[in-house]
């Protein structure tokens, strides 16, 4: 029994060494593995190590071999994530402006630990801090957890909603906490939003999670009015996050090839784009006419124009004249 316990412990240590301290760029020889096992208080003979490696390879761990001269070196799978996957995860967390700097570093470290690989530790140490526009609401993770729990349990959520004053200090938007029926959590354009039904407004509203304080899940269940909006959120999301705030019109746009990528990004890669010539295209699409739509057209600096209908062209002209004033 004692020998079995010792071998079980040695197998766990060997498993961890291979996962945490090896990858294809850092393989270890038999001598290296024997030394590491001895350092952890689980020494064994070379013959026993070969048996342990075969057992792990046959059961729980894919062990790779590489020849280095006359030696054979061994390495494990390199953790849960590949280096490419880790890079995406690290950069995604870095890019999220709503996550404060302290919480960003903590989350990246937790992902690195979860991966349990040599490469993840190296990548964490070499992380580039490229997003300097981090918000400072340290309740963000608690807000996400609270809203997610409320959505799962179909209950209302309450929170203090605030804005920042000229000194970047939080000021409540309302005299009392906001209570709404949560429907969805949406990430869009570097912000995390709660999409919810507001009984006070009798409408769907959206709230930034980094502008919430003291969020809590209520005992009151989601209302029947809110239930009617479940599954109908796509149109609302299109209004809020794409071209929102006005009446719908089928608008024809003409644009240069330089703006083509932005057209696909905005309307989807299935948009019926018509090629006019080698450098120009045309698209007719239904949008909601608003300042948001007009400002989107303006950003292309003359490489996009509205060609129909005439009424929208006149609205666009009036919008530009107002901006000039």
The secondary structure of 198-242 as a DSSP string is: ETTTTEEEEEEGGGEEEEEEEEEEPPHHHHTTTT-HHHHHHHHHT
Could you tell me which of 305, 299, 293 has the C-alpha nearest to residue 256? 305
Q: 82-117, pLDDT tens digit by residue? A: 666 777 777 778 778 788 888 888 887 777 766 655
Q: 289-308, pLDDT tens digit by residue? A: 888 889 999 999 989 999 99
Residue 131 pLDDT > 60: no
Could you tell me which of 38, 223, 216, 187 has the C-alpha nearest to residue 98? 187
Q: 31-62, pLDDT tens digit by residue? A: 999 999 999 999 999 999 999 999 988 887 78
Domain 2-75 has CATH 1.10.10.10: yes
What are the residue ranges spanned by the domains of the chain? 2-75, 83-125, 140-232, 242-324
In the prediction, which pLDDT does 227 show?
Answer: 82
Give the CATH fold of the 140-232 domain. SH3 type barrels. (2.30.30)
In the prediction, which pLDDT does 219 show?
Answer: 93
Please, what is the Cα angle at 87 between 135 and 105, to 5 degrees? 35
Q: What is the mean pLDDT of the chain?
A: 84
This prediction's pTM: 0.60
Selected from 3.90.1690, 2.60.40, 3.30.70, 3.40.140, the CATH number assigned to the domain covering 242-324 reads 3.30.70
Please, what is the Cα angle at 60 between 57 and 61, to 5 degrees? 50
């Amino acid at each position: 029994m004692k020998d079995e316990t010792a071998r079980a412990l040695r197998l766990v240590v060997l498993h961890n060494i291979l996962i945490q301290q090896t990858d294809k760029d850092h393989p270890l020889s038999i001598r290296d593995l024997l030394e590491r096992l001895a350092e952890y208080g689980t020494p064994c003979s070379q013959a026993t190590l070969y048996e342990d490696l075969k057992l792990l390879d046959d059961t729980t761990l894919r062990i790779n071999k590489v020849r280095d001269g006359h030696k054979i070196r061994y390495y494990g799978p390199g953790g849960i994530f590949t280096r490419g996957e880790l890079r995406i995860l690290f950069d995604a967390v870095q890019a999220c402006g709503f996550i404060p700097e302290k919480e960003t570093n903590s989350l990246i470290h937790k992902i690195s630990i979860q991966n349990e690989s040599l490469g993840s530790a190296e990548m964490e140490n070499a992380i580039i801090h490229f997003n300097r526009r981090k918000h400072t609401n340290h309740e963000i993770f608690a807000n996400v957890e609270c809203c997610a729990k409320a959505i799962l349990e179909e209950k209302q959520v309450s929170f203090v909603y605030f804005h920042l004053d000229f000194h970047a200090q939080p000021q409540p938007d309302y005299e009392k906490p906001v209570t709404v029926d949560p429907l969805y959590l949406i990430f869009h354009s570097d912000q995390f939003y709660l999409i919810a039904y507001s009984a006070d407004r009798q409408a769907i509203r959206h709230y930034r999670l980094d502008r919430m304080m003291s969020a809590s899940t209520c005992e009151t269940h989601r209302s029947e009015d809110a239930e009617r909006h479940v599954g109908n959120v796509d149109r609302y999301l299109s209004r809020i996050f794409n071209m929102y705030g006005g009446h719908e019109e089928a608008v024809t746009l003409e644009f240069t090839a330089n703006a083509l990528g932005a057209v696909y990004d905005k309307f989807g890669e299935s948009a019926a784009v018509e090629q006019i010539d080698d450098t120009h295209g045309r698209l007719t699409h239904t949008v909601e006419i608003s300042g948001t739509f007009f400002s989107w057209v303006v950003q292309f600096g003359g490489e996009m124009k509205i060609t129909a209908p005439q009424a929208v062209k006149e609205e666009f002209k009036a919008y530009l004249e107002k901006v000039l004033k």
